[in-house]
Amino acid sequence: MTGISVAEVVPWSIWEPGKTGALSERLVANPAYDEESRDRVLREATALEASVGSLSGIMLLYIWAPEGSPRAVGWLRDYGQDPKRRRTVDDIMRELKYYKRSWGEKVSDYIVEPNGPFPLGPGVTQVLVNSHKGSPVVTSHMRVWIVQPVGGVLCFSVSMPEKPERAEDLTKPFLALIMSASVMPE
């Protein structure tokens, strides 16, 4: 995989890991963000970078900030390909079929289903709504796993620290982001 390009779909702010400065410059140039909303988005961007710092394969980071207020964060991760076998949508479905809860985690919803096609290949959508013991926060997570023609796997992930009133609150903008993705020419 040489690289992935994702269009800057409003209200998503997208940047490469380690390039929060470039995100800051784009926010300053965007009249939709006043100083307070820029600060909120940049604080969230810094926290997101810190939280994914140890993960390998992170290609892009993004924040969904309608009206300048960050409501969801996410990342695009390249899981690469297994040199011994080409992975398929059925493989991903089998791997995700059962969710293993962590200690103290309450899962209120878990769905896995095939989805697509997407510009980068066929996919599987995984939705998890959970909370943790002692915390009143319910978080919605959506991941779209895309199997590329060469057998590699990409994962677009987004998390929102609240359960949207309507599924399309987050689903439609997230799918628009994924549909804007393309392979960068070599």
User: What is residue 39's predicted lDDT score, i.e. its pLDDT?
Assistant: 87
Which CATH number covers residue 114?
3.40.1000
Q: Is the confidence at residue 61, as pLDDT, over 70?
A: yes
Q: What tokens does 34 get?
A: 């006043």
Domain that holds residue 51: 4-183
Does 165 score more than 70 pLDDT? Answer: no
Q: Inform me whether the pLDDT recorded for 144 exceeds 90.
A: yes
Q: In this predicted model, what pLDDT tens digit does every residue of 70-98 receive, in sequence order?
A: 788 888 988 877 777 778 889 899 999 98
What is the percent of the chain where pLDDT is above 90? Answer: 9
Q: What is the pLDDT of residue 65?
A: 81
Q: Which percentage of the chain shows pLDDT scores above 70?
A: 92
- The count of domains in the chain is 1
What's the pLDDT at 112?
A: 93
Q: Can you read off the two tokens belonging to residue 27?
A: 């926010």
CB-CB contact of 48 with 75 (8 Å)? yes
